[in-house]
């Protein structure tokens, strides 16, 4: 699967999550999810946020695998990014 196809699939999944968890909204509309203030992202905004999340997730997983210490700022940034994508993280 190409990167573009993966991004389109991830965006479609995001739209389904948004509809199920928040309800119908226009792109750019604001909402609250898991105590986080978010907005419904357009495709280009989603792609930017998705790439940021995947990079932070990769870094976080590397830190955990190595047993390194992680700071609260990194966890907060990862949780905030995940919330904008309506992804629940378990840490």
Q: How confident is the model at residue 87 (pLDDT cuts 50, 70, 90)?
A: very high
Model pLDDT, residue 64? 87
The DSSP annotation for 17-54 comes to HHHHHT----TT-EEEETTEEEEPPPHHHHHHHHHHHH
Model pLDDT, residue 74? 86
Q: What is the pLDDT of residues 52-80, one digit of tens each?
A: 999 999 999 998 888 888 888 888 899 99
- Report the predicted TM-score, pTM, of the whole model to 2 decimal places: 0.87
Model pLDDT, residue 90? 78
Going from N- to C-terminal start, the domains of the chain cover: 3-84
């Amino acid at each position: 699967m190409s990167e573009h196809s993966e991004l389109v699939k991830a965006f479609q999944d995001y739209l389904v999550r948004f509809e199920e968890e928040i309800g119908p909204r226009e792109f750019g509309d604001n909402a609250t999810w898991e105590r986080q203030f978010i907005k419904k992202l357009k495709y280009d905004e989603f792609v930017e946020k998705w790439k940021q999340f995947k990079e932070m997730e990769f870094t976080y997983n590397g830190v955990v695998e190595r047993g390194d210490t992680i700071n609260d700022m990194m966890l907060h940034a990862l949780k905030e990014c995940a919330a904008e994508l309506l992804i629940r993280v378990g840490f």
